[in-house]
Structures are given as C-alpha cells and as structure tokens.
Amino acid sequence: MEPVKVGLLGLGIVGGGTISVLRRNATEIARRAGRGIIITHASARDLKKPREFSLDGIELLGDPLELVNHPEVEIVAELIGGTELARELVMQAISNGKHVVTANKALIAIHGNEIFEAATRKGVIVAFEAAVAGGIPIIKAIREGLAGNSISSVAGIINGTTNFILTAMREQARSFEDVLAEAQSLGYAEANPTFDVEGIDAAHKLTILAAIAFGIPLQFEKVFTEGITQITIEDIGFAERFGYRIRHLGIARRTSEGVELRVHPTLIPERRLIANVDGVRNAVLVIGDAVGPTIYYGAGAGADPTASAVVADLVDIVRAFTTDPGNRVPHLAFQSDALSYEEILPMEEISTAYYLRMQALDRPGVLADVTRILGESGISIEAILQREPVEGASFVPIIILTQSVQEKYMNQAIEKLEALPNINGRIMRIRMDPLA
C-alpha cells in the first residue's frame, strides 16, 4: 500500500525532529501503522535557512496555505506555533477534510473548543499529544488508560525550561539569566521565553490536562498563573533546610467547592518523586479514584522527545483512517455533548500552606508583631526560622511556614506585615503542596 503523505508546517526544532524520527524508524513505524508515513511537503517562513537535517524528497512550499490545500497531503502536521496563523491553517485543513497533528499548546488551550467542534462536524481528528509534556504520552494515559476513573487531581512539572532553570540554580548556584540562555540554545524554551518563565506555557498545558481529566471545556483565561522570576537561590536554600524543594507546578484539582486551576512555584516535600525530577524532565501525578496515584515521567521538551509524540499521533490517525468518526476517542476524552462547566475557583478562595520570607530589623518585639498579625488573621504557624545577622547588615531574614489557609486571608496578613515599620520591602510568598 502507498505510504501516507504528511505535509509539515514548520521546519524548526520539532519539525526537524519529526523528519528525523520518521526516517530513522520508518520500518517499525510502518509495521505499527500498517502503512509507511512520509513527509512529502513542507513549508517554513524562511525556506533558504540552513538546517541541520536533510530535506531530500520533500517538496518545499513558500505558502503554508498551499500546503494545507494541496490535494496530495493527507495529514497536516502543524509545528509553527503561535495562535493566529496556526489557527487559520488548522481550520482550513479541517475544512478540507484533512486530519491534523499539532504540538501547539497555546492554539489548543485558546482555540481548542472551536477547533474540536469544527473537526467533529467534519469527521476528522485533531491530535495534540505533543502539546503537553513533550514526549510523555500523558494525553493518551488520561484519555484512554484512565478512562474508568473519576480523576481528582493532575499536578506536576509541565514546563521543562523552568525546571531546567530551578535545577541549575540549586545544583550549580548559577544565575537565572545564564541558565535561561542555555535552555534557549538547547531548544527547550518557547520562541518568547517569557511564556516559560512567567508560567504561561504551563498554564496552556494545564488547561488541556484539566479539560481531559475532568470533562470540562478548555478555559485558559481562568488559570491562576505565577512564574519563577522572583525565586532566589536563598529561597531554594531555605526550603531545603525545612526538607522541601521548589518546583514550578501546574495543579488542577477537583474539590467539593469547585475546580482549582493554578500554576506557581511550589514547595513540595523532598521525599516526593516529583521533588527529585531534575533538568528538562517533566513529571505528572494523576490521581484516579480506582487506580490511586500514578506518575508519568520523561523528557518534556526538545526535538526528538516532542517528535516522539508527533509521530505517535500520526500512527494513531493512520490506524483510525477507516473507523467511523463517531466511534473514535473524543478529542477531550469525554463526548463533546457531555462536557460540563464546573465552577473554577478564583485563587483567593483556594487554601494552601505558605512559605514566607521577610527581612526584619534585628530589634526586640519584631517577631512578636509578626506572629500577632498572623494569629489575628487566623493563620497558624507550622515552623519558623530566624537567621543570625550577617556582620554589618541591619536586617535579618525570617522564614515562616504556615498551615493551610485561604489565599484571601494570607493576602490581608501580608499587606499588614509589609506595613510594619520594622519589616523591610516586600514579603516573599511561595505556596506549598503536599502532592498527596
């Protein structure tokens, strides 16, 4: 049988990885899919740019729309990123009756509801395994492997760049900027690295995970998002003294009050498996009522790992060519007419424990003022540490770990603490999670 012809939009890191994996493993891929899968057409912004991979046998097109409309292309792989042009091309591919594979988390998180509706109407598949956690088959695991469960939470490290930065800061005491530059040169970071370090990329991925775990529509705008730019080597060290690691987590949790959707730096106990996931690796903890806790671990970014997911989606689509569209795995795990809007809790309503770090004047009564304000706000202290003053310094760091409290009460307490004359500057607050 003729090989299946794929058109590739984008010849960047993931595009190159996809070409290379399809070539390298061509025989095994054909044995799995029942047909060969080849890239016959590709388009890129700059077709003349020198590349590290060969484009032999691939017809290059200057206009991406020409590729999407090309009668020979059976599956479109969208690997250009961004949300505007990508949306237009994916919608056009769907309208042409072509199946689509995408690694674009922003596209799915922001326009996914519209894209899946159009794809369902047209009877085509839009596959997006590569959009979340790189090479880890987390979409397949939740959507198919855990289909018998009621899932209560999905939490983990879903951005490789921030984990790479936090790991190097802890292990090598290197500056934030220095490690970020390395992550960019290795192809881990987004085109705009603000998306990584401010948590937007993780929020895109969490939006997708929450939808397929809980059967809710994609609601990116409701995710609380905080990045890692304020985290210091000092905080990483203090956390360790208390037996914690700082990780940048995405947390989607279903509680009796509503659904929590949040991305922020988090102190987690160092004995947790996820606390020991280093570098560009991702790890996701999914808790189902039947299976209990399960963990998925692997490379969350990079050319070959992301291509691993893109190619798996291509194989899935080829296997499903002749199936009845109504009997395929639904895009968001639940049948599209069975998705339900559950309340997404604002961050102020969510309860967590906190790590607080403040700079205090080394004077009698300062600690008493601090503990009084926390007590009056109903915040119970779990542990406290005051470092001896460094010679010549007038301020000493005070670190406090609290018990769980609603964020709105912590906000009020922090405001009062920052107003104390003996407390200098802003108070550093990092949320804690037992990840259990």
Active site amino acids: 205
One residue of 190, 304, 313, 433 binding ligand HSE per CB under 6 A: 190
Whole-number Å distance between alpha carbons of 423 and 362: 10
Smallest separation (angstroms) from ligand HSE to the CB of 95: 27
Q: Is residue 160 at the binding interface for ligand HSE, with CB under 6 A as the rule?
A: yes
Smallest separation (angstroms) from ligand HSE to the CB of 300: 5
Please, are residues 130 and 264 in contact by the beta-carbon 8 Å criterion?
A: no
Cα–Cα–Cα angle for 235, 161, 183, rounded to 5 degrees: 110
Nearer to ligand HSE, 98 or 204 (CB): 204
Q: Is residue 305 at the binding interface for ligand HSE, with CB under 6 A as the rule?
A: no
Backbone angles phi, psi at 200, to 5 degrees: -70, -40
| Residues ≥6 apart with Cβ < 8 Å to 352 | 404, 405, 407, 431, 432, 433
Please, are residues 278 and 254 in contact by the beta-carbon 8 Å criterion?
A: no
What Cα–Cα distance (Å) separates residue 326 from each residue in 2, 96, 125, 160? 26, 19, 11, 36
Please, are residues 376 and 348 in contact by the beta-carbon 8 Å criterion?
A: no
Smallest separation (angstroms) from ligand HSE to the CB of 10: 14
DSSP string, 120-168: HHHT--EE-GGGSSTTS-HHHIIIIITTTSPEEEEEEE--HHHHHHHHH
Buried/exposed code over 13-30 (b: 16+ C-beta within 10 A; e: otherwise):
bbbbbbbbbbeeeeeebb
Q: CB 138: neighbour CB atoms within 10 A?
A: 29
Please, are residues 92 and 67 in contact by the beta-carbon 8 Å criterion?
A: no
Whole-number Å distance between alpha carbons of 306 and 301: 6
One residue of 188, 224, 244, 296 binding ligand HSE per CB under 6 A: 188
Smallest separation (angstroms) from ligand HSE to the CB of 349: 29
One residue of 169, 189, 252, 398 binding ligand HSE per CB under 6 A: 189
Nearer to ligand HSE, 179 or 370 (CB): 179
Smallest separation (angstroms) from ligand HSE to the CB of 30: 28
Q: Is residue 313 at the binding interface for ligand HSE, with CB under 6 A as the rule?
A: no
Smallest separation (angstroms) from ligand HSE to the CB of 41: 25
Backbone angles phi, psi at 381, to 5 degrees: -90, 135
Q: Is residue 301 at the binding interface for ligand HSE, with CB under 6 A as the rule?
A: yes
Stretch that binds ligand HSE, among 37-45, 116-124, 182-190, 307-315 (CB under 6 A): 182-190
Q: Is residue 102 at the binding interface for ligand HSE, with CB under 6 A as the rule?
A: no
Q: Is residue 300 at the binding interface for ligand HSE, with CB under 6 A as the rule?
A: yes
Where does 4-93 show beta strands of DSSP type E?
4-9, 37-43, 59-61, 75-78
Site string for ligand HSE, 125-144 (x = CB under 6 A): ---------x----------
Nearer to ligand HSE, 54 or 192 (CB): 192
Stretch that binds ligand HSE, among 79-87, 159-167, 315-323, 412-420 (CB under 6 A): 159-167
State the pairing for strand pair 395-402/224-225: unpaired
Smallest separation (angstroms) from ligand HSE to the CB of 208: 11
One residue of 159, 167, 225, 266 binding ligand HSE per CB under 6 A: 159
Q: Is residue 199 at the binding interface for ligand HSE, with CB under 6 A as the rule?
A: no
Nearer to ligand HSE, 301 or 410 (CB): 301
Nearer to ligand HSE, 157 or 370 (CB): 157
User: Of residues 358-377, which lie at the interface with ligand HSE (CB under 6 A)?
Assistant: none
Smallest separation (angstroms) from ligand HSE to the CB of 105: 6
Give the alpha-carbon dihedral of 323, 329, 332, 338, to 10 degrees: 90
Cα first-last separation, the chain: 50
Nearer to ligand HSE, 74 or 201 (CB): 201
Number of residues that bind ligand HSE (CB under 6 A): 11
Question: What interhelical angle do 26-33 and 13-24 show, nearest 10?
Answer: 80
Whole-number Å distance between alpha carbons of 387 and 365: 16
One residue of 74, 78, 129, 201 binding ligand HSE per CB under 6 A: 201
Contacts with ligand HSE by CB under 6 A lie at 134, 159-161, 188-190, 196, 201, 300-301
